[in-house]
Chains A and B, each alone.
Chain A
Amino acid sequence: MLGAAIIVLRETLEAALLIGVIAAATRSIPGRSRWITSGILLGFVGAGLVAILAGHIAAWFEGVGQELFNATVLGLAILLLGWHQVWMSAHGAELAANAHRVAQDVRQGQRQLSAILIVIALAVLREGSESALFLYGLLSGGEASRSSLLTGGALGLLGGAALGVLLYAGMLRIPVRWFFAGTSALILLLAAGMASRMTRFLIQADILPGLKSPLWDSSSVLPVDSVFGVLMHALAGYDARPAGMQVVSYAATLLVILAGMWWVRRSGPGSRH
């Protein structure tokens, strides 16, 4: 049971932290809880489907299908997060500053939230389908009692969710003055970390070259299986032995999103006054 709990916790952590950050970052957009909850539910349904179908569509997971699936899901999430980031840099400060907003803002906010819904659903789908595959495999193999596995799985899920809530609660304590910059920086790091992970999948599938691999080895300083390492991996895409290409994509994602934010702030249609 404990084993199942730990595996599910590890798989859940990334998605849970992502949801915590996004929930904090969008707290000033009306109606966001509904969208976030729908995203989580959609992700769960998707993860369940992947796990149930995996046995039947094993061919789809054969070869490098799994890497392509993960890389596509991550790529989509990066695009949406990047867009969110750019949108928030144009409107987020206003949203946070004004208690009441014009209808236009709300409508734009809704469109924005649909992107958030997809990002969350994708994160839950990707992380959840692995947990589901693991539990489903053990259940169908009949190698452990159903109840202990399910209890373990549920505990792991709760643990992950609790960490997400903790992060959320912690972020809400950031003073308003720093809040926007803080959430913004975290989302940037999340997106860059996703880019690095996406690149790793593409290297693993032999679609991208690794360049120098590993570029460095910091596993003796901060191992990725230590508690802090796991957190840094989930939040900022930390990797103890990254391939050169991962570092390139990490930096490129940071630069492109930052450039987008800078650009809309400069040329935004009178968004500041």
Chain B
Amino acid sequence: MRLALLAFLLIPSFALAADPEFTLTIRNHRFDPTELRVPAGKKIRLVIDNQDASAEEFESHALNREKVIPGKSKVPIFIGPLKPGRYPFVGEFNQSTAKGVVIAE
């Protein structure tokens, strides 16, 4: 399993886009990867790619974030800067399977 999928600079037009980007995929109501390693102390652009037909709600009390991701779509969520540590998250609409953790290090 690849841990960090992507970290790239978006092309100039967007000054804020220098934040490192990571992708989380949702398939069959599961997150992939379930453990996402990100650098601590930096703002992260987390892109959630929901490949299921149904909507999911990304929710994390630890990250203080929640956002609905409609079926078959990709949405960004900005998180951090984080202190080193583990930040669990769930898919609120399918909590029995959709679980994961962001590890800042």
Contact = CB atoms under 8 A, between A and B. Distances in A.
Interface of A: 3, 7, 54-55, 58, 61-64, 66-67, 130, 133-134, 136-138, 140-141, 143, 200, 203-206, 213-214, 219, 223-225, 239-243
B92 A7 contact: yes
Contact of B61 (A7, A200, A225): A225
A229 to B, nearest CB: 9
B68 A133 contact: yes
Interface string B4-48: 000000000000100100000000000000000000000101000
B65 A224 contact: no
A35 B7 CA distance: 51
A55 B62 contact: no
Contacts of A3: 95
Contact of A55 (B57, B65, B70, B75): B70
B76 A64 contact: yes
Contacts of B70: 54-55, 58, 61, 133, 137
Nearest to B73: A58
B54 A55 contact: no
B54 A137 contact: yes
A130 B57 contact: yes
Contacts of B64: 200, 213-214, 239, 241-243
Nearest to B19: A206
21 contacts: A3-B95, A55-B70, A55-B71, A61-B70, A61-B75, A62-B75, A64-B76, A66-B68, A134-B93, A136-B55, A137-B54, A137-B55, A137-B70, A137-B93, A140-B54, A203-B78, A204-B78, A204-B79, A205-B78, A206-B78, A241-B64
Interface residues of B, number: 31
B84 interface: no
Nearest to A203: B78
A130 B68 contact: yes
Considering the complex of A and B, which 10 residue pairs feature the smallest CB-CB distances, nearest first?
A137-B54, A137-B55, A141-B54, A206-B78, A133-B55, A241-B64, A58-B73, A141-B53, A58-B70, A134-B93
A67 B93 contact: no
A242 B73 CA distance: 28
A141 B73 contact: no
B93 A138 contact: yes
Nearest to A201: B67
A116 to B, nearest CB: 27
Contact of A206 (B16, B71, B72, B95): B16
Contacts of B81: 213
B65 A240 contact: no
Contacts of B43: 206
A62 B53 contact: no
Nearest to B83: A214
A223 B61 contact: yes
